[in-house]
Amino acid sequence: MTRTLGRPNYAATYAPYPGERFAVPAVDYRQIDPRFLRQTVDYPWEEPVGSVVVDPAAYHLYFVEAPGRATRYGVGVGREGFGWSGPARINMKRDWPDWVPPREMIARDPEIRARLEPTPRGLGVKGGPLSPLGARAMYLFGEGRDLGYRIHGTLEPLTVGSNVSSGCIRMINQDIVHLYTRAALGTPVTVLPT
């Protein structure tokens, strides 16, 4: 458990986000458990400054800001059987990314196919207000390859704090935009076991 050191003004933090290619609507943060809203916390573990640590069991993602201090965000994580843990690095970042679901996902849920259209990377949903990846995505690589997992925004902010995705780590759009500006390419990411 980490101790809260500071909280931003949530009315401003989760207000409509200005200057975007597509609208980032306000989030009614009062409907979200306060544990999953952005805050600065004690971080007593040893990861280096600039690291990202995901604790799926607690539905938290930490960005280590300084020794002993991190920004903590709420996240939605993989449903039962879709979780993943281990080390990775952010090898690619995208602003308003296209979503191209893997064949396995389409096979599990054929209704997805009706939403898909051609994108530069294959059949998917073009980046924008309908893309399940939200306003930003950071792609996790390890073992010399794309692991197929992302840290990304969501169209469903009320799902933060639950097991909802096919293994990816989803964040409120205002939070993923905030993290995206801090986490550089090459940032080490550790996803803890559940």
Catalytic residues: 152, 168
What is 109-155 written as a DSSP string? Answer: -GGGGGG-EEETTEEEB-SSTT-TTTTEEEEEEETTEEEEEEEEEES
Report strand pairing: 77-78 vs 163-165.
Answer: parallel
State the greatest distance between any 2 C-alpha atoms of the chain, in Å, as a whole number.
48
Judge whether 56 and 157 are in contact, CB under 8 Å.
no
Judge whether 138 and 151 are in contact, CB under 8 Å.
yes
Q: CB-based burial of residue 87 (10 Å sphere; 0-12 exposed, 13-18 middle, 19+ buried)?
A: exposed
Question: Nearest to residue 135, comparing CAs of 84, 73, 186, 181?
Answer: 181
- The helix/strand/coil state of 162 is coil
The residue with tokens 């805050």 is: 39
